């Protein structure tokens, strides 16, 4: 099996294009959005016009005809500058649009994917519940089919749902218990709920530690009704579907964590070259040099990890363990690099006007979202045959 992860000319061209966009368009504006907890609609629209939301989807649905590796390249470059913009793309594609592409009917794909691929609309993935957390199988949200009206009737609550309440959110894909299996365990299915559906209440945005320019909310469903044909995939297969979606999404989160880790290196190198203490740049001190060298080493190895997992996915090979390794390693690397970059910047690293302050606050959630570090260790151990 090849382990050569050098970029093709097409991939390198995309990477450079997104890198330039991140530095020329995102970097000058995002600090103000982040400080004011505002969603950067114009930046997201420009990303849509670039085709970033359609990267891994076929052209027949409005996509760019790329693959998951291509998407992750774009996510990493955005995260080198800002994680709020990066997670909006990551969640909009891997959690919002990908379930419809993977499991939707032809009619569902043609109805929803063009808008999602263009960035004119966003999708959200309603999985996590207030009492569930990592135990996604303990879903309490229910959906029953009203035979008289031919509608699903949904009741329950979801929390921490990204992209669920923006002005351009088009749909939320919701996991819900739709019955019981012969052994008494819950039968979980996935249902598409369009934004604005009566019975769906979208709460105010959370007050968060980081990702302040992204949209994250709680959702509640009270006799929320959608047509029967809004079932996504096979009834009772929702649990298996979202496990696959999360496996893929962990690679994208790893790419985002790698971008943040590399962004910490970028900012630290630039600061160390210009900040003087005791008559010379602090970058001339070996203590600072070694600190930044270790940061670069960690970012490099995180990149190797996600590219390996993404390459396996694209080739159709097993990738579950490699995705968990990449997600676990890169998220912890991002937290470490953010802490070290703040130390390199000294007191200025504690000021929000410096990007490393945002990176420090943005990094921690990477060890939690789409599977905590503890869950990743559990999955890796299970793959090694160490059953619990």
Catalytic residues: 370
Contact assessment for residue 359 and residue 351, using Cβ atoms and an 8 Å cutoff: no
Report the C-alpha gap between 251 and 20 in whole angstroms: 23
| Residue 180 in tokens | 């019981």
Both structure tokens of 378: 């559990």
Q: Identify the DSSP state of 387.
A: -
What span, in angstroms and rounded, lies between the C-alpha atoms of 182 and 166?
40
Q: Which of 207, 135, 134, 121 is nearest to 164 (CA)?
A: 121
Beta partners for 318? Answer: none
Which two three-digit tokens encode residue 46? 């420009």
* Other CB atoms within 10 A of residue 11 CB: 16
Backbone angles phi, psi at 167, to 5 degrees: -70, -15
* Tokens 């945002």, residue located: 358
| Pairwise CA distance, residues 162 & 263, whole Å | 23
Say if residues 82 and 22 touch (Cβ distance below 8 Å).
yes
Among 134, 230, 128, 222, which Cα is nearest to 175's? 128
Report the alpha-carbon angle 320-97-78, nearest 5: 75
């Amino acid at each position: 099996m090849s382990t050569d992860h050098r970029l093709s000319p097409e991939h390198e061209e995309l990477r450079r294009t997104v890198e330039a966009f991140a530095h020329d368009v995102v970097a000058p504006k995002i600090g103000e959005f982040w400080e004011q907890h505002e969603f950067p609609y114009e930046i997201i629209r420009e990303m849509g016009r670039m085709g970033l939301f359609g990267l891994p989807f076929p052209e027949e649905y409005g996509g760019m005809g790329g693959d998951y590796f291509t998407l992750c390249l774009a996510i990493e470059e955005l995260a080198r500058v800002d994680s709020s913009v990066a997670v909006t793309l990551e969640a909009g594609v891997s959690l919002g649009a990908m379930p419809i592409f993977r499991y939707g009917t032809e009619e569902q794909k043609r109805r929803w994917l063009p808008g999602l691929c263009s960035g004119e609309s966003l999708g959200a993935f309603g999985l996590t519940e207030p009492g569930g957390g990592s135990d996604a199988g303990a879903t309490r949200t229910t959906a029953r089919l009203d035979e008289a009206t031919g509608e699903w009737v949904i009741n329950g609550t979801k929390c921490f749902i990204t992209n669920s309440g923006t002005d351009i959110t088009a749909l939320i894909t919701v996991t819900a218990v739709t019955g019981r299996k012969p052994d008494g365990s819950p039968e979980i299915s996935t249902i598409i709920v369009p934004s604005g559906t009566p019975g769906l209440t979208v709460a105010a945005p959370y007050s968060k530690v980081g990702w302040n320019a992204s949209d994250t909310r709680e959702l509640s469903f009270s006799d929320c009704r959608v047509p029967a044909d809004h079932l996504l995939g096979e009834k009772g297969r929702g649990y298996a579907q979202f496990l696959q979606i999360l496996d893929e999404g962990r690679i994208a989160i790893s790419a985002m964590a790698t971008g943040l880790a590399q962004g910490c290196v970028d900012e630290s190198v630039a600061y160390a070259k210009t900040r003087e203490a005791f008559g010379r740049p602090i970058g001339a001190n070996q203590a600072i040099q070694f600190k930044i060298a270790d940061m670069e080493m960690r970012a490099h190895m995180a990149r190797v990890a996600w590219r390996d997992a993404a390459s396996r996915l694209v080739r159709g090979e097993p990738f579950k363990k490699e995705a968990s390794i990449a997600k676990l390693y890169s998220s912890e690397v991002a937290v470490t690099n953010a802490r070290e970059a703040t130390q390199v910047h000294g007191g200025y690293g504690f000021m929000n006007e410096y990007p490393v302050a945002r990176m420090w606050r943005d990094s921690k959630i990477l060890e939690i979202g789409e599977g905590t570090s503890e869950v990743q260790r559990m999955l890796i151990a299970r793959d090694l045959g160490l059953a619990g």
